[in-house]
Amino acid sequence: MLKRPRRNRSSAAIRGLVRETQLTANHLIQPLFLVNGQGIKEEITSLPNNYRMSLDEALKEVEACLALGISNFILFPAIPEEHKDKTGTFSYHPDNFYLKIALEIKARFPEACLISDVALDPYSIDGHDGIVRGGKIVNDETLDVLGKMAVAQAEAGFDLIGPSDMMDGRVQKIRESLDGAGFTDTGIMSYTAKYASAFYGPFRDALDSAPKASDDIPKDKKTYQMDPANKREALIEAELDTAEGADFLMVKPALHYLDVIALLKDNFELPIAAYHVSGECAMLMAACRNGWLEYEKAMPEALLSIHRAGADAIITYFAKDFATLSS
Ligand code: PBG
């Protein structure tokens, strides 16, 4: 035998020399679920170890993460029913606690990078990412709301705007709105290939943002989020986002879509982000809590796989735990 691949695995030192991928806390983005109020830290039943937090608790969490080397955070609001309407106007209202919390976090921790979520669903009585009319999600009118939302978020100090709505033309609309308001340095992390996935359940529990079921309203997001069966279509979305001025191209979910991550990595120069979504994290956690998998080993392997597939940045509910384990 002339070739023996096992030679390069024969000691920890040699394995270190030939290791192709290293994941650090630098690559990770910690999601935070935010509520209005004080002293609130409620665990999300379907996503153990993750909480809906008020400002004071969120500040403690950001401080703890920064100390562990996590500098990137993506923020999501749980909006009370009385602030929801058909067109998501509370998203850019000056009283929106989401914007105020971002301002406070940036004031206390300017070194933290804050990423926003742009979509109507947390603010919509219909639970959809766009405006619903006559049983349809109306694209172009929704863009106006998204533009306003993005500018309000930039004013609140968000470093990266995260359109997760999948409307056509949204990246260009947001880029023009930001530039028009003087926010030329605020970036866009676009949810480029976001699939109509069954793995968003715990997230929708956390925010009470599931699409509502009624005769006039589509019960799912299949007319705007992508079909899980499609891969080549992700190239169309990536071309558009690149042309429209995105700074990151995101694939979501992550673990079940590693082929899509690799495809975009191979075909585009922009950095690739991947969203390791709530359901993907919840299933791993459930298996670990049952004693069927070992958390300390299975969790880092899952994140490493996403990085190896080509994701530069990974949004994951395990960010803090990963950093804790590797510190
Ligand atoms: C909102 C949004 C969703 C997620 C991120 N932003 C839910 C959805 O599209 O229904 C899901 C994230 C997760 O499951 O962790 N548009």
State how far the alpha carbon of 112 is from the alpha carbons of 23, 44, 136, 143, 175, in Å. Answer: 20, 24, 39, 28, 22
Q: Which atom of ligand 1 is nearest to the CA of 281?
A: 15
pLDDT tens digit sequence for 199-258: 999 998 888 777 877 768 888 999 999 999 999 999 999 999 999 999 999 999 999 999
Q: Which atom of ligand 1 is nearest to the CA of 276?
A: 15
**pLDDT at res. 269:** 98
Q: Which atom of ligand 1 is nearest to the CA of 122?
A: 1
* Percent above pLDDT 90 for the chain: 94
pLDDT tens digit sequence for 144-164: 999 999 999 999 999 999 999
Q: Which atom of ligand 1 is nearest to the CA of 117?
A: 6
- Residue 181 pLDDT greater than 90, yes or no: yes
Mean pLDDT of the chain: 96
> What is the C-alpha separation between 40 and 119, in angstroms, rounded?
25
User: If you measure from the C-alpha of residue 275 to the centroid of ligand 1, how many angstroms do you get, rounded to a whole number?
Assistant: 9
**pLDDT at res. 165:** 96
**pLDDT at res. 215:** 67
Give me the residue spans of the domains in the chain.
22-326
Residue 324 pLDDT grade (very low, low, confident, very high; cuts 50, 70, 90): very high
Q: Which alpha helices (H) appear in 78-118, and where do they start and end?
A: 97-108
Residue from 47, 115, 116, 121 whose mutation best tests the ligand 1 pocket (most atoms within 8 A of CB)? 121
Residue 59 pLDDT grade (very low, low, confident, very high; cuts 50, 70, 90): very high
- Give 249's strand partners: 190, 272
Would you please indicate which residues are annotated as catalytic (active-site) residues?
194, 252
Residue from 204, 251, 306 whose mutation best tests the ligand 1 pocket (most atoms within 8 A of CB)? 204
Helix (H) or strand (E) run with residue 193 in it: strand 187-194
pLDDT tens digit sequence for 266-281: 999 999 999 999 999 9
User: If you measure from the C-alpha of residue 106 to the centroid of ligand 1, how many angstroms do you get, rounded to a whole number?
Assistant: 24
Entry pTM: 0.96
Residue 40 pLDDT grade (very low, low, confident, very high; cuts 50, 70, 90): very high
**Neighbouring residues of 302: CB distance < 8 A, sequence distance ≥ 6:** 255, 276, 280, 284, 318
Q: Which alpha helices (H) appear in the chain, and where do they start and end?
A: 12-18, 55-67, 97-108, 139-155, 170-180, 201-207, 232-244, 258-267, 278-289, 295-309, 319-326
Mean pLDDT of 183-202: 97
Mean pLDDT of 75-101: 96
Mean pLDDT of 305-316: 98
User: If you measure from the C-alpha of residue 68 to the centroid of ligand 1, how many angstroms do you get, rounded to a whole number?
Assistant: 26
Which residue, judged by its Cα, is nearest atom 11 of ligand 1?
200
Q: Which of left, alpha, beta for 245 (phi over 0: left; psi -120 to 50: alpha)?
A: left
> What is the C-alpha separation between 275 and 66, in angstroms, rounded?
20
Residues whose beta carbon lies within 6 Å of some atom of ligand 1: 117, 119, 121, 129, 164, 200, 203-204, 277-278
Tell whether domain 22-326 is in CATH 3.40.718.10: no
pLDDT tens digit sequence for 170-179: 999 999 999 9
User: If you measure from the C-alpha of residue 8 to the centroid of ligand 1, how many angstroms do you get, rounded to a whole number?
Assistant: 42
Mean pLDDT of 172-196: 98
Mean pLDDT of 71-84: 96
- Residue 81 pLDDT greater than 90, yes or no: yes
- Residue 16 pLDDT greater than 70, yes or no: yes
**pLDDT at res. 148:** 98
User: If you measure from the C-alpha of residue 202 to the centroid of ligand 1, how many angstroms do you get, rounded to a whole number?
Assistant: 9
Residue from 164, 190, 284 whose mutation best tests the ligand 1 pocket (most atoms within 8 A of CB)? 164
